[in-house]
Amino acid sequence: MRTLKSANATSTSLMSTAFSENSPAAGGYRMPAEWEPHDATWLSWPRREGISFPGAYDDVIPIFVRMIDALRESEAVRINVTDEAEELQVRRLLAKIDTSHVQFFWIPTNEPWCRDHGPIFIRRQDAPALAVVDWDYNAWGGKYPPFDLDEVVPRRIAKQLNLPVYYPGLVMEGGSIEPNGAGSLLTTTSCLLNPNRNPSRSKSEIEQSLRDYLGVTNILWLGEGIEGDDTDGHVDDITRFVARTTVLTAIEEDSSDPNFEPLRENLALLRTMSAEDGTPLDVHTIPMPPRIEREQQRLPASYANFYIANKVVLLPVFGSPNDQRACETLQKCFPKRRIVPIDCRNLVWGLGAFHCLTQQQPKV
Q: Kindly tell me the burial class for residue 325, based on how many C-beta atoms sit within 10 Å of its own C-beta (0-12, 13-18, 19 or more).
A: middle
The pLDDT, as a whole number, for residue 352 is 97
3-state secondary structure of 257: coil
Instruction: Give 3-state DSSP helix, strand, coil % of the chain, rounded to 5.
Output: 25, 25, 50
pLDDT band at 5 (very low <50, low <70, confident <90, very high): very low
pLDDT band at 128 (very low <50, low <70, confident <90, very high): confident
**Digit-coded pLDDT (tens) for 324-340:** 999 999 999 999 999 99
pLDDT at 12 over 70: no
Whether 333 sits among the annotated catalytic residues: the reply is no
Structural domains of the chain ordered from first start: 13-362 (3.75.10.10)
* CA–CA distance, 56 with 188 (Å, rounded to integer): 31
The pLDDT, as a whole number, for residue 325 is 98
**Digit-coded pLDDT (tens) for 274-333:** 999 999 999 999 999 999 999 999 999 999 999 999 999 999 999 999 999 999 999 999
The pLDDT, as a whole number, for residue 319 is 97
- DSSP codes of every residue in 135-152: -B--HHHHTS---HHHHT
pLDDT band at 6 (very low <50, low <70, confident <90, very high): very low
Backbone angles phi, psi at 29, to 5 degrees: -85, 150
pLDDT at 265 over 50: yes
**Looking at residues 260-268, what average pLDDT do you find?**
98
* CA–CA distance, 45 with 175 (Å, rounded to integer): 18
Find the catalytic residue in 114, 191, 344, 356: 356
**Is the bond preceding residue 280 a cis peptide, omega within 30 degrees?**
no
**Looking at residues 14-39, what average pLDDT do you find?**
88
The closest of 1, 31, 4 to 209, measured between CA atoms, is 31
pLDDT at 121 over 90: yes
**Looking at residues 228-239, what average pLDDT do you find?**
98
Give me the torsion for CA of 121, 270, 227, 319, rounded to 10°: -80
pLDDT at 4 over 90: no
What letter does residue 359 receive in the DSSP assignment? E
The pLDDT, as a whole number, for residue 126 is 82
**Looking at residues 75-102, what average pLDDT do you find?**
98
The pLDDT, as a whole number, for residue 346 is 97
Average per-residue pLDDT for the chain: 95
**Digit-coded pLDDT (tens) for 164-214:** 999 999 999 999 999 999 999 999 999 999 999 999 999 999 999 999 999
**Looking at residues 219-241, what average pLDDT do you find?**
98
pLDDT band at 31 (very low <50, low <70, confident <90, very high): very high
3-state secondary structure of 221: strand
pLDDT band at 17 (very low <50, low <70, confident <90, very high): low
Q: Which residues contact 308 (CB under 8 A, 6 or more apart)?
A: 34, 35, 334, 337, 360
The pLDDT, as a whole number, for residue 64 is 98
The pLDDT, as a whole number, for residue 127 is 79
